[in-house]
């Protein structure tokens, strides 16, 4: 299954983490992005999956960089 996060959204600019950049959150869809047609998956479903993926990746990143948010 392909990643729900587009490849251009998976990598952020290098910051204090050097070669291990902090994950970037997915871009929230605009209300106009949904056609209200009952698509499967809906753009909001895809966003929710990407948000869950981001939360997991951010938690892993924070484990590797415990002082980054201090």
pLDDT per position as a tens digit, 27-65: 999 999 999 999 999 999 999 999 999 999 999 999 999
Say if pTM beats, i.e. exceeds, 0.75: no
* Predicted local confidence at residue 4, as pLDDT: 59
The total number of structural domains in the chain stands at 1
For residue 59, what are the domain limits? 39-70
Q: Is residue 32 part of a domain?
A: no
- Residue 2 forms part of a structural domain: no
Q: Cα separations (Å) of 33 from 44, 46, 47, 50?
A: 9, 12, 11, 16
Q: Is the pLDDT of residue 7 over 50?
A: no
How many CB atoms lie under 10 A from the CB of residue 46? 16
The first and second tokens of residue 60, run together, are 């892993």
Query: Residue 30 region, left (φ>0) first, then alpha (ψ -120 to 50), else beta?
Result: beta
**Which of these, 25, 32, 27, 30, lies nearest to 53 by C-alpha position?**
25
């Amino acid at each position: 299954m392909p990643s729900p996060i587009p490849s251009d959204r998976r990598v952020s600019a290098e910051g204090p983490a050097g070669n291990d950049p902090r994950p970037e959150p997915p871009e929230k869809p605009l209300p106009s992005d949904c056609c209200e047609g009952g698509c499967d998956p809906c753009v909001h479903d895809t966003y929710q999956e990407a948000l869950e993926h981001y939360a997991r990746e951010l938690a892993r990143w924070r484990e590797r960089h415990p002082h980054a948010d201090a």
